[in-house]
Chains A and B, each alone.
Chain A
Amino acid sequence: KAGVTQTPRYLIKTRGQQVTLSCSPISGHRSVSWYQQTPGQGLQFLFEYFSETQRNKGNFPGRFSGRQFSNSRSEMNVSTLELGDSALYLCASSKTSGPNTGELFFGEGSRLTVL
């Protein structure tokens, strides 16, 4: 059974550009959540999608957005990149939605560097 797949694994952008990251969840999982991980802040919740609807959102500016497609694949977009957006972006999939959901399965992450 394939795990959570994130693409690209690594990318370098410059300030002001925008970036789109992709996440394919485990087959049968309908919930995808996104997290930003930095050395100083640890894991921070960005948003969660379930059946193409955003169910929950963290405290990030509107430059961070996402969407989910009918096949449960999800994308997140960051516009007008800032140096502070450099981070590991992780997505996780689960069968159900919400914080009481069962096990979360994380992808390997997309490492974004903003120059």
Chain B
Amino acid sequence: KNQVEQSPQSLIILEGKNCTLQCNYTVSPFSNLRWYKQDTGRGPVSLTIMTFSENTKSNGRYTATLDADTKQSSLHITASQLSDSASYICVVGNDYKLSFGAGTTVTVRA
């Protein structure tokens, strides 16, 4: 069964600090890995999309890494802002479907 596991389930950080979210997957064969940001009550917004050949991708203060050998990805948030408070969802695709993680809820406090 294709699974996507995210950790931690939630975290609280102080404004200006960095944090890293983890995503482990068992999806096979692998095609692409995506990170989405979802604000409360809103739809998800794409942050990054990576294919097998890419091991890092940045979008502003967000940097995603991918290790296809160990089937792990991370999303690093640099110099967090209050607007980074959201749920971050890892999505892994193969040739047949997209598999969604349960998400990590990030709360940034002033």
Contacts and interface: CB of A to CB of B under 8 A. Distances in A.
Interface of A: 4, 41-45, 56, 90, 92, 99-100, 102-109, 111
A52 B93 CA distance: 23
Given A44-B100, A108-B41, 13 more contacts: A42-B101, A43-B89, A90-B44, A99-B31, A99-B93, A99-B94, A99-B98, A100-B93, A102-B49, A104-B34, A104-B46, A107-B43, A108-B43
Nearest to A4: B43
B98 A45 contact: yes
Chain B at the A interface: mostly helix, strand, loop or mixed? Answer: loop
Interface string B28-48: 000110101000011111100
Contacts of A103: 46, 49
Nearest to B103: A42
Contacts of A111: 41
The 4 residue pairs across chains A and B that have the minimum distance between CB atoms = A106-B43, A99-B93, A42-B102, A43-B100
Question: Residue among B34, B93, B95, B98 with the most chain A CB within 10 A?
Answer: B98
Interface in B33-83: 34, 36, 41-46, 49
Contact of B95 (A44, A90, A100, A105): A100
A51 B97 CA distance: 18
14 contacts: A42-B100, A43-B44, A45-B97, A90-B43, A99-B32, A99-B93, A99-B94, A99-B95, A99-B98, A100-B32, A100-B93, A102-B49, A104-B34, A108-B41
